[in-house]
Structure formats: C-alpha cells, structure tokens
C-alpha cells in the first residue's frame, strides 16, 4: 500500500473513491438549532461542525451542503453516507464531534474505513476533515497506522487468499507544500513502526512446526543484517552451558531443537557517554506444552503464541533502530520450546540459575520465568540504565486484568510511571500490579533458594514477577510486562486482526524508547 501526499490541494484527486470526513455538531448547538431562530442555528451548523470543504468546486459544495442538512445523517462516529457526483464515488464518514474525537477514536474509525474501502484500488482521503483536535502530524501518523495495521493478514498458508485491492491512498490536504518534507517524514517513520509490528505478527502467527527455535533465531539474524548500527550474536546450547544458564536450559531438556539466545545491540550513530542504554528482554517459547506438567489439550491450543513477548521486544528494537533513535538498546530473546520426552525436566527438579540461586521446579508449565531469569541476569551484565521484559507469562494475568490490559510490574516507580505514560500516549491499556514482600517471601523455597510457583495460585501474575525480581542485580531499574492477555485476539481493536497475533505494546515500548532518546 502506497501513501501519496497531495499538498496545497485545490480539489480532490481523481480516484476510485473519494473519502470526506464529517464532524457532528456539538450537542449544545444541536439543541440550539431546535429552540432558537433558524438563522442563528444555521450559522452554528456551518461554522462549528460538518464537512471541511474549503477547496471544493461549487457543485460539490452544494452536494455537501445537502449532506450536512440531511435529517438522517448526523455524522456520528462511523456513520457513512455515499453518493456519486459527476462520476465520482464519494463517501462521507461521520467522526462525531471534533472536540471529543480522541486519537484512538480516529485510529479505530480509520481502521474500519480502510477495511470498507479495500475493494477500491485508489482512494483519495480529504485529510483536512479527517483529523483530531490535535496537530496534523499526529493525525497523519494515526492515518498511516490505521491503514497499515488493519490491512495485515496472515494468509500465507491459504491456497485461495483474498487479496485487498487497495494499492494507493492519496492524502489530499490544503497544508502548504512547504510542509511536504515534514509530513513525508511522518509517513516514512510510521511505516517503519507498522512494518515492525506486522513483522512481529507474522512471527507469532507462524506455526510451531515451522518456527522452531533455530529457525526463529535464523530469521532474526537475517532480518537485522539489513539494519544500520545493529550487532547480532546467537548463543546455542553449548554457549549457554558455558554461560551457566542451566535454568533456561532446563526448559529445553525435552526438546529436539536447541535453545537459542539472541543477543542484539543497537548503537546509535551519535552515541556518547550520556546516551541512555535500555535492555529489552523477551520470552520466546515457540511452543509451550507445559512439559511434564502437561497442559490439557484445550489450553495447549495456540501456545505457539508463547513467543509473543520476544516478538514484541524485537519489533520495538527493529523499529527504534530503523528510526535511528538516539538510545542504545540491548535486546535479548530467550528462545526454546517447552516439550516433553524422557529427558524433559521432571517436577521436583532443583536447578542452579546463572546468578547462582537454586530453584525447585515444582511445575514445568511455569517455564517462562525460568527462561527469563537467566536472560535477565545476562541482561544485567550489559549494565543498562533500565531493563524491560515482555512475556506471555501467566494465565492469571487474564483473570486479573482481562484480555485487553497489559500487566506491568516493577522494582522502580519512576520506570513504571514512565511506561504507563508511554502506554497512554500510544493509546494502549497498561495497569500496574504491586510486588508485595509477602509474595517475594512466598517464592522462597525450603530445600532450595527459590521455587518456581507460589504456594497458591492467587496473585499468580505478580508472584511470577516477584520470582523474576530475584534475578535483577545492582538495583537496576526493571519492569515486567505480562502480555498474556493482549498478545493476541484483540477483537475490540479494528486495527488488530480479530484472531491471532495483535502486535500491541510495541508502540508503547517505542514511546518509552523515544522518551529516552
């Protein structure tokens, strides 16, 4: 899909479909229209609401006046009105009151619109009337996000995939041509972000018989080879053994495929001693059977998505590096499956972690924390200013926060606040859960330093975080994101596929990285 900017537009571009936005009249004015004299009400209707149509030819202006005065079309959010004029197909899209149109509202409406218009090859959007009350650049970013994220389909295994017809989106705007460079940069930068999100979605949706641990690492290695400033190191079983990552490797015991630790570093061109260094760590379970603590069939279904944490942090890393953000980033992906054979780790096993702590593995299905534990300790050795991990860690997160909210836990309030702020500006739901001393105590063992599950399932999400915190050294600021709920099937978001990988939280992480750049 190509985005073409047409600035200083005097008319609409000739296209298969022309889309015009319409704002609803503010409720008070609507009331005024009923009660006060007609003349006053008419003035309100043309100045405070309706269709931004300052560059249209006379006849089409008259047609829009008719739409504006229509009894039935109120320009409520998502309401549509279609007509043809002089052979042009025109779609008027209601956006509700402009003053109340939040960025996420616009993203959702444009995502729905993009699906509705996918049968057209070329669509011209009248951008002046498709904006929030915020600035033009923000609305343009939202437009590109909505169209490219909503267009995503995982159809490579379908013999008869239906392709979208939409090839070109022209953005007609009365903004001066002097702004061309700035607005084009918004488009290009947004595409770097949504490309990364769609890349992550592909990884998550890939079936486990294709995306083995080794294949996953290979794909990342090939992908980063194209990015400036990025170095890639892949540790296999032998190297990880040397690193004393026995806790991570214990998860890989029952697998026919080597565990892989992908260690990426992005160093910005302008890096100096003041440049911030952020480490991102991701759970990369290409499949989670539960191991000997086997999952029942129903719960095992879709456990290919148990690597979504690693795909999320990788996408944030990829986008940040492609954008050339001025922040150093270490990205650690802990990749393996959790399979069962006669060598698989048995419950009751006691294993020593890379940091020297011993862990009694009472439930082999609580495996993500074992992988992350060694990865977090390894990440600490890179001496970052902060570490953020993302993982589909606990089913309990869905119980606590539902399927729509990302869980956040941290040892550092400033970092937690900063992440919450980043999520807010990315329009993504994130909520902090506490790590209380009682839960830290509950994760201590009796015959080992730690155990990998708490004494009860209550508060399971934050107890898992309490376990992870044991592997953070030197008081490094650390935050854990449990994306078990938001990693897939965000059917309430029209810019996410109803089923499968969502690609959410990448934009939150990017906001965070930008705030450190």
Catalytic residue set: 295, 369
By the rule CB under 6 A, 288 interacts with ligand BES: yes
Neighbouring C-beta atoms of residue 45, cutoff 10 Å? 18
Q: Which residue has the tokens 């862990």?
A: 359
By the rule CB under 5 A, 306 interacts with Zn ion: yes
Binder of residue 396, out of ligand BES, Zn ion, none (CB less than 5 to 8 A by kind): ligand BES
Q: Where are the alpha helices (DSSP H) in 117-245?
A: 136-150, 180-205, 213-224, 237-242
# residues near Zn ion by CB under 5 A: 6
Q: Least distance in Å: CB of 75 to Zn ion?
A: 46
User: Which one of residues 50, 384, 460, 503 is an interface residue with ligand BES (CB under 6 A)?
Assistant: 460
Stretches 60-68, 189-197, 299-307, 375-383: which one binds Zn ion (CB under 5 A)? 299-307
By the rule CB under 5 A, 389 interacts with Zn ion: no
Closest CA to 19 of 58, 52, 49: 52
d(CA 461, CA 484): 10
Look up residue 424 and give its two tokens. 């807010």
By the rule CB under 6 A, 130 interacts with ligand BES: no
CB-nearer residue toward Zn ion: 1 or 300? 300
Burial label for 160, CB within 10 Å (0-12, 13-18, 19+), is: exposed
CB contact set of 242 (below 8 Å; sequence gap of 6+): none
CB-nearer residue toward ligand BES: 323 or 462? 462
Q: Least distance in Å: CB of 65 to ligand BES?
A: 53
Secondary structure (3-state) at 473: coil
CB-nearer residue toward ligand BES: 387 or 453? 453
CB-nearer residue toward Zn ion: 5 or 468? 468
How would you classify residue 239: left for phi > 0, otherwise alpha for psi between -120 and 50, otherwise beta?
A: alpha
By the rule CB under 5 A, 377 interacts with Zn ion: no
| Residue with the shortest CB distance to ligand BES | 395
By the rule CB under 6 A, 365 interacts with ligand BES: yes
d(CA 82, CA 466): 56
Look up residue 215 and give its two tokens. 């294949």
By the rule CB under 5 A, 482 interacts with Zn ion: no
By the rule CB under 6 A, 502 interacts with ligand BES: no
By the rule CB under 6 A, 486 interacts with ligand BES: no
d(CA 311, CA 322): 16
User: Which one of residues 206, 288, 337, 427 is an interface residue with Zn ion (CB under 5 A)?
Assistant: 288
136-150 and 103-116 helices, crossing angle to 10°: 40
User: Which one of residues 150, 416, 484, 506 is an interface residue with ligand BES (CB under 6 A)?
Assistant: 484
Binder of residue 511, out of ligand BES, Zn ion, none (CB less than 5 to 8 A by kind): none
CB 442 within 8 A of CB 378: no
CB-nearer residue toward ligand BES: 278 or 406? 406
CB-nearer residue toward Zn ion: 192 or 295? 295
Stretches 36-44, 287-295, 311-319, 350-358: which one binds Zn ion (CB under 5 A)? 287-295
CB-nearer residue toward Zn ion: 312 or 326? 312
By the rule CB under 6 A, 360 interacts with ligand BES: no
CB-nearer residue toward ligand BES: 393 or 415? 393
Helix count (H) and strand count (E) of the chain? 17, 18
Residue 62: φ, ψ to 5°: -65, -40
User: Which one of residues 175, 206, 258, 306 is an interface residue with ligand BES (CB under 6 A)?
Assistant: 306
# residues near ligand BES by CB under 6 A: 15
Residue 183: φ, ψ to 5°: -70, -35
User: Which one of residues 282, 291, 368, 384 is an interface residue with ligand BES (CB under 6 A)?
Assistant: 368
By the rule CB under 6 A, 366 interacts with ligand BES: yes
Near ligand BES in 395-424, by CB under 6 A? 395-396
User: Which one of residues 367, 377, 428, 511 is an interface residue with ligand BES (CB under 6 A)?
Assistant: 367
Residue 281: φ, ψ to 5°: -125, 135
DSSP letters along 282-327, please? EEEEEEE--TTSPPPHHHHTTGGGGGHHHHHHHHHHHHHHHHT-SS
Strand partners, 93: 21, 80
Residue 260: φ, ψ to 5°: -135, 135
User: Which one of residues 109, 365, 389, 470 is an interface residue with Zn ion (CB under 5 A)?
Assistant: 365
Neighbouring C-beta atoms of residue 94, cutoff 10 Å? 18
CB contact set of 80 (below 8 Å; sequence gap of 6+): 91, 92, 93, 94, 116
User: Which one of residues 368, 485, 500, 503 is an interface residue with Zn ion (CB under 5 A)?
Assistant: 368
Applying CB under 5 A, the residues found at the interface with Zn ion are 285, 288, 306, 365, 367-368
Applying CB under 6 A, the residues found at the interface with ligand BES are 288, 306, 363, 365-368, 392-396, 453, 460, 484
């Amino acid at each position: 899909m190509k985005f073409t900017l047409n600035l200083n537009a005097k008319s609409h571009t000739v296209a298969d479909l022309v889309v015009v936005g319409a704002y609803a009249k503010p409720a008070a004015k609507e009331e005024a229209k009923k009660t006060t004299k007609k003349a006053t009400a008419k003035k309100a209707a043309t100045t405070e609401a309706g269709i931004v149509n300052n560059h249209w030819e006379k006849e089409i202006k008259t047609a829009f006046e008719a739409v504006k005065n229509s009894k039935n079309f109120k320009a409520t959010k998502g309401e549509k009105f279609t007509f043809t004029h002089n052979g042009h197909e025109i779609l008027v899209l209601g956006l509700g009151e402009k003053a109340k149109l939040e960025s996420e509202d616009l993203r959702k409406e444009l995502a729905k619109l993009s699906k509705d218009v996918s049968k057209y090859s070329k669509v011209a959007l009248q951008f002046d009337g498709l904006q929030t009350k915020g600035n033009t650049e923000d609305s343009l970013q939202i437009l590109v996000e909505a169209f490219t994220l909503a267009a995503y389909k995982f159809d490579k295994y379908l013999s008869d995939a239906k392709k979208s017809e939409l090839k070109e989106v022209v953005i007609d705007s009365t903004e001066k041509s002097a702004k061309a460079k700035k607005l084009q940069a918004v488009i290009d930068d947004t595409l770097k972000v949504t490309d990364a999100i769609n890349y992550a979605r592909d990884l998550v949706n890939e079936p486990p018989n294709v995306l083995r641990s080794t294949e996953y690492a290979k794909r990342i290695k090939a992908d980063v080879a194209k990015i400036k400033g990025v170095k890639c190191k892949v540790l296999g079983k032998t190297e990880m053994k040397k690193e004393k990552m026995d806790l991570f490797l214990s998860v890989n015991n029952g697998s026919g495929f080597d565990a892989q630790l992908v260690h990426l570093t992005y160093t910005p061109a302008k890096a100096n001693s003041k440049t911030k260094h952020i480490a991102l760590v991701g759970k990369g379970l290409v499949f989670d059977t539960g191991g000997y603590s086997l999952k029942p069939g129903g719960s095992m279904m879709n456990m290919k998505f148990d690597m979504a944490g690693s795909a999320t942090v990788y996408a944030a890393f990829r986008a940040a590096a492609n954008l050339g953000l001025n922040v150093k980033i270490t990205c650690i992906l802990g990749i393996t499956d959790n399979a069962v054979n006669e060598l698989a780790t048995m419950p009751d096993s006691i294993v020593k972690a890379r940091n020297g702590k011993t862990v009694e593995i009472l439930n082999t299905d609580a495996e993500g924390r074992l992988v992350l534990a060694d990865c977090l300790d390894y990440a600490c050795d890179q001496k970052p200013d902060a570490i953020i991990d993302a993982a589909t860690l606990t089913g309990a997160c869905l119980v606590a926060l539902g399927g729509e909210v990302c869980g956040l836990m941290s040892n550092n309030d400033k970092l937690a606040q900063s992440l919450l702020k980043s999520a807010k500006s990315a329009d993504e739901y994130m909520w902090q859960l506490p790590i209380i001393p009682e839960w830290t105590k509950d994760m201590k063992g009796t015959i080992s330093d730690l155990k990998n599950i708490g004494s009860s399932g209550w508060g399971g999400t934050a107890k898992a975080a309490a376990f992870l915190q044991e592997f953070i050294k030197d008081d490094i600021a650390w935050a854990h994101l449990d994306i078990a709920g938001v990693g897939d099937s965000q059917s309430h978001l029209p810019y996410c596929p109803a089923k499968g990988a969502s690609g959410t939280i990448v934009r939150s992480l990017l906001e965070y990285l930008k705030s450190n750049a």
